[in-house]
Amino acid sequence: MILDKITLIANGKGWSESPRDSPSWGTNHILMNRPVDMVFEIHDLRKKFSSEPSGAHHARAARRGARDNVPYMVRSADEPVAEHIKRVYPWEEIFNFFGTDLIGSSFDAMMAYAIYSGYKHFDIYGFLMKRGREYDHQRDSAHFWIGQLMGRGLSFYWHQYQGIAFSDMMQTRDGLVYGLGVPQKKWPYMPV
């Protein structure tokens, strides 16, 4: 199956600028912010739903998903999500397809599944993995999945929001090209 464009949306700054004219997948409690075609909730939901204060927000989003028939991609069949919307992430198929189990975040799970599904262009909103911030520990595996896109000749656009952009993802710690000592060019867009 050949698919064109997918919009991947997290709840970070910039999600509100995501378009509604193409298929879209969102993370966690995105349904509390905007509609999407599928939600990726890869956390252990029994633990997540019982945590405060974010757990209640995630649980309300899952109830909204059930009400609106929005598929929920979850980590296992026993997650507490309505059966009619539950989709279990195909871990083994993904691991076998890519030859790795390098999934370090919801972003990674979404990217792997979208590539596996045949999408050709990726618009990315609200994933804040800027160095030194909350999700800094997820950058290494995110770089791998961006590399998968580039290596397969797929295109993407990591949308900027207040200085947080793709160019920060694909940058050395000091912003210099190793061996040359010259500043890296900023590449916010990989052309189609």
Dump pLDDT digits (tens) for 85-119: 999 999 999 999 999 999 999 999 999 999 999 99
Question: Does residue 173 carry a pLDDT above 80?
Answer: no
Greater pLDDT, 102 or 12: 102
Residue 21 has pLDDT above 90, yes or no: no
Reported as a single tens digit per residue, the pLDDT across 175-188 is: 788 898 888 776 55
Q: What is the mean pLDDT of the chain?
A: 83
User: pTM for this structure?
Assistant: 0.85
* Selected residue with higher pLDDT from 88 and 57: 88
Beta bridge pairs of residue 26: 9, 39
> Comparing C-alpha atoms, which of 126, 131, 125, 96 is closest to residue 112?
96
Instruction: Say whether pLDDT at 26 is over 60.
Output: yes
What is the domain partition of the chain in residue ranges?
A: 5-190
Q: Is the pLDDT of residue 41 over 50?
A: yes
Taking residues 37-45, report their average pLDDT: 89
Q: What is the pLDDT of residue 1?
A: 44
How does strand 189-190 pair with strand 155-158? antiparallel
Q: How many CB atoms within 10 Å of residue 165?
A: 21
User: Mean per-residue pLDDT for 28-44?
Assistant: 89
3-state SS record for the chain: CCCCEEEEECCCCCHHHCCCCCCEEEECCHHHCCCCCEEEECCCHHHHHHCCCHHHHHHHHHHHHHHHCCCEEECCCCCCCCCCCEEECCHHHHHHHHCCCCCCCHHHHHHHHHHHHCCCEEEEECCCCCCCCCCHHHHHHHHHHHHHHHHCCCEEEECCECCECHHHHCCCCCCECCCCCCECCCCCEECC
Q: What is the mean pLDDT of residues 31-59?
A: 82
